Structure 1
Amino acid sequence: MRLKIAAVGFLTIVYLFPAYAVTDRERLALQRLHSELTSIQEIIKAAEQNSNDQGRYLVDYDQLKGDMGQIQQGIEDILNSRRREPRSLPPIEGDYR
């Protein structure tokens, strides 16, 4: 009987272990993505400062920064929460001309 309980316990741990590893990898990837988005926001600020108001194509930097901020905030929410709960999010614009 003890052997059966030990076997079930061992198989449960072995079965669940990869799930924790994936979660850790996902968390690391999201942390990296958050860091990269911070760098991208700096690039967007630089592009906005160097933009040509008389150019053929105008970029809506306010909308772009707003969408990037929403994406970054969503990632922060995931990284800071212990449980993932479904929620509705406002759509990002995606059109920056």
Structure 2
Amino acid sequence: MASERAFEREQLALLTRQLDQINRQVEDLSAQPTQVRGRYHFDYPRLREDLQRVRAGVQDYLTPQRAQPRDPTPMLGEYRDEQEPSP
């Protein structure tokens, strides 16, 4: 049981590092100038918020602050943001 718990913590720590890498990639992509603005674009701020929620959930599990369960915030999803056409 203890070894299973240690393995789970190790894997969740790995997941946290992978989320950090993904977040850096999202930051790099969102900083790139957009060549052509179409009607739709990828909503990087929404993705960053969801990544932060996942990371916070993992951290809360690894280092609980209280014994009571918390009410999780739902993920936003839908990363396509529709732009109104310019007149």
TM-score, length basis structure 1: 0.71
**Which residue does 1:58 correspond to in 2?**
41
Higher percent of residues as helix: 1
* Structure 2 letter corresponding to 1:23: R
* Displaced runs of 4 or more, over 4 A: 82-85
Alignment pair present for 1:49 and 2:31:
yes
Higher relative contact order, structure no. (Cα contacts within 8 Å, ≥ 6 residues apart): 2
CA-based RMSD of the aligned residues comes to 2.0
Where structure 1 has 5 or more consecutive residues not aligned to the other structure, the ranges are 1-18
What secondary structure sits across from 1:58 in the alignment?
Answer: strand
The correspondence for 2:55, drawn from 69, 72, 75, is 72
Q: CA offsets per residue over residues 43-85 of structure 1, 9 Å max, x none?
A: 0001101152614530111111001001101111111128765
TM-score, length basis structure 2: 0.79
**Which residue does 2:15 correspond to in 1?**
33
Structure with greater Cα Rg: 1
The correspondence for 1:93, drawn from 76, 80, 84, is 76
Q: Percent of counterpart pairs with the same letter?
A: 29
Where structure 2 has 5 or more consecutive residues not aligned to the other structure, the ranges are 81-87
